[in-house]
Amino acid sequence: MQLNRNDYEPLRWAVVLMALTILLGGCDRGPGKQATPVPEVATVTIQPQQVELSTELPGRTSAYLVAEIRPQVNGIIKQRLFQEGSDVKAGQLLYQIDPAPFQVAHNSAKASLGKAQANLPSIRLRAERYQELLADKAVSRQDYDDAAAAVAQARAEIEYWQAAVEGARINLGYTRVTAPISGRIGKSSVTVGALVTAYQPTSLSTIQQLDPIYVDVTQSSADLLRLKRNLEAGRLSANEANLRKVRILLEDGTPYSLEGTLQFRDVTVDPATGSFTLRIVVPNPKHLLLPGMFVRAVVQEGIDAQAILVPQQGVSRNPKGEPVALVVDEAGKVQQRVLTLNRAIADQWLVASGLAAGERLIVEGAMNVRPGAAVKVIPWDGPKGGVKAPNTKRSPAESN
């Protein structure tokens, strides 16, 4: 039996496949096999540092002094002697109420006082003569008592008209409506010729002292309790002089050039918001701050001498939402840590717990490793080749 050429083709392909299998198996077992490379990670070594902690609180400005101008007598406005929106001095004449009826009342009271004073000498002399005659029984006791009573009545009348003259003088002075304080005066609610009444509900105008100016900010009572606990536990040290200094940020975010001084903390917590008020006195010589403006106050909390700051890119979140970080232990293995964060300071996190001094935190390459894996450590050069210095003066709100 003869085999043709086509009968040998399957046999040749079987031999080729067996040879390739043997060859590939030999390559797998050969000494030239390459090991899986160890991943590289960039780390920073945790070093405690001194940080001055502060918090930004929202608030609004209010005038240092406010005086609402109201008339104290009835009358017609004869003159308005100020420019609306101008600065006025204490004692400056603002309005002149028609003084004519008050001048008449003052003159009448003075005339009545003079009449009473003129009657007193003759009445007093009569009483003195009756007293001498009473000793000789030339007049009756009743006549002397009547004369003495007339003297007392004349003196009382004099005192009455003296008080009437003083009252008329005061009312005449009230026709000159003057500024009780120095400051910026607003618009006038009346014009010349308007009738005003004493102590009317509507003020004639309002004066506000703008230099210095108040800044009233709100802080939660929980923040105050946390701050007190940190101070009592020694985690923060306080310098009373520095704690009273406050920086102001304008509503567009730009810093105000002059520092304010914390005047007091209110002792009452608003039950609706759980917050209380801090009042700050801020110099305002150029009147840049106006009443009612929205500002933010950077209030000093204290100094943390052993603060741990880490780059924000080295912290992520686990499925539970907890902040976690990866560190490299002494054996070169990756370990995961659950952190407690205090707040963000610039591009770094202030860590309350979870990291210790000397540990190496992974900030780059964390996506390529898992806990327990061996890694090769290289130093981190910082963002774009340089580590950004933390801003220890300004702190946003707390984060967890």
* CA nearest to 307, candidates 342, 350, 341, 355: 350
Q: Dihedral of CA 332/335/341/346: which sign?
A: positive
Check pLDDT > 50 for residue 87: yes
Reported as half-sphere exposure (CB side, CA atoms, 13 A), residue 270 has a value of 12
CATH class of segment(s) 54-63+210-303? mainly beta
Domain covering 40-51+305-385 assigned CATH 2.40.420.20 in the classification: yes
What's residue 276's pLDDT?
84
CATH of domain 71-97+175-202: 2.40.50.100
Please state the pTM of the whole predicted model: 0.68
Encode pLDDT of 242-270 as tens digits.
667 889 999 998 999 999 988 888 878 88
CA distance 230 to 342: 12
CA distance 219 to 128: 78
- What's the burial of 329, exposed, middle or buried (CB within 10 Å: 0-12/13-18/19+)? exposed
Percentages of the chain per state (helix, strand, coil), in multiples of 5: 30, 35, 35
All structural domains of the chain with their residue ranges: 40-51+305-385, 54-63+210-303, 71-97+175-202, 100-174
* CA nearest to 327, candidates 373, 388, 387, 381: 373
Backbone angles phi, psi at 326, to 5 degrees: -110, 135
Pairwise pLDDT comparison (284 vs 400), residue with the higher score: 284
Backbone angles phi, psi at 268, to 5 degrees: -115, 130
CA distance 213 to 209: 7
Which positions ≥6 away from 113 have C-beta within 8 Å?
158, 161, 162, 164, 165
Encode pLDDT of 98-139 as tens digits.
999 999 999 999 999 999 999 999 999 988 888 888 888 888
Peptide bond into 121 cis (omega under 30): no
Check pLDDT > 60 for residue 5: no
Say how many Å lie between the first and final Cα of the chain, rounded: 89
Task: Give the DSSP per-residue string, 208-276.
Answer: EEEEEEEEEEEEEHHHHHHHHHHHHHTSSB--HHHHTEEEEE-TTSPBPSS-EEEEEE-S--BTTTTEE
Encode pLDDT of 267-276 as tens digits.
788 888 888 8
Cα Rg, the chain, nearest whole Å: 46
Q: How far is CA 10 from CA 21, 22, 33, 34, in A?
A: 17, 19, 34, 36
Architecture label for domain 100-174: Orthogonal Bundle (1.10)
Fold match between 40-51+305-385 and 71-97+175-202?
no
Residue pair 286/292 in contact (Cβ under 8 Å)? The answer is: no
Q: How far is CA 41 from CA 329, 355, 358, 366, 367, in A?
A: 13, 18, 17, 7, 10
Q: Work out the average pLDDT over 348-355.
A: 88
CA distance 126 to 131: 9
Of the given ranges (59-73, 223-237, 296-310, 371-385), which has the lowest mean pLDDT?
Answer: 223-237
Return the percentage of the chain with pLDDT > 70, whole number: 83
What's residue 85's pLDDT?
92
Residue pair 89/182 in contact (Cβ under 8 Å)? The answer is: yes
Encode pLDDT of 59-82 as tens digits.
999 999 999 999 999 999 999 999
| Structure token digits, residue 164 | 């009437």
Pairwise pLDDT comparison (123 vs 387), residue with the higher score: 123
Check pLDDT > 50 for residue 26: no
